[in-house]
Amino acid sequence: MKARMSIIPLSLAVVLSGLPIISRVLPMRLPLPVNWAVVSASVAVLAVAAVAMEFEGAPTGSKEVALVAVLGTLSALSRIPFAAIPSVQPCTYLVICAGYVLGPVQGFMTGVMTALISNLMLGLGPWTPYQMVAWGSAGLVSHLFRRGFKGRSILPLVALGALWGFVFGAIMNLWFWTAYVYPLNPATFAATMMSSLWLDAMHSLGNIFFLSSLGGRTIRILERFQDRFQLTLL
């Protein structure tokens, strides 16, 4: 139930964020001019706020909150040394492992904190809410793999990490497209997506490397924490 509740605001965010393309493809006319950059950023912020409120209102103890805070901080700090390498950082792998073990909401909040804390050092901007959604969604989705594959192999998570390099890029491209590209239509959106393919591929390869080499050990460490402190899945 909790996972379904978390997916609702994110699904709404995806649908509303696709309205710029839909409004150009279908014969629809809006009564007033729309600033799609503001609309999509607002939807991203509201999606993050909805899941954060769910986390805050859940019956979590101080141990769950502290662990999510520590994981979010570690993930954010791990991004700093890799800032010089385009799109390669351990953040996505850590967020995926957190969501896989601790639960979809905890995974999402780990991703949110990763973007917020790391950008305090690397630079906050209108891209930050999109990074929160992109990393947070990786943590949320990864827990579905635990239910589906029941921890038999790390390979499904490696595949998720490979895919998420491109999903992350698509979410960030949505911000760039609505903010800086004109006109907004399927052709310019496709061009924006194509322009970042090499960066997305770098992100994907980095995720494959970190998850294959460190994912199994990280998951076992988090599972020991979960068993020792009897953490609650959300």
For the chain, domains (ranges, CATH) are: 2-229 (1.10.1760.20)
What does the pLDDT average to over 13-24?
54
Q: Helix or strand or coil: residue 113? A: helix
Inter-residue contact 232 to 64 (CB < 8 Å): yes
pLDDT tens-digit series, residues 123-144: 888 889 899 999 999 998 998 8
Note the pLDDT of residue 3.
47
**Angle at which helices 62-79 and 91-102 cross, to 10°:** 160
Is pLDDT of 173 > 80?
yes
Structure tokens at 28: 């629809």
Closest by Cα among 199, 7, 43 to 130: 43
Is pLDDT of 47 > 80?
no
Round to whole Å and give the CA distance between 184 and 176.
11
Other C-beta atoms within 10 Å of 166: how many? 16
Note the pLDDT of residue 20.
56
Q: Helix or strand or coil: residue 126? A: coil
Round to whole Å and give the CA distance between 69 and 88.
23
Is pLDDT of 234 > 90?
no
Inter-residue contact 214 to 161 (CB < 8 Å): no
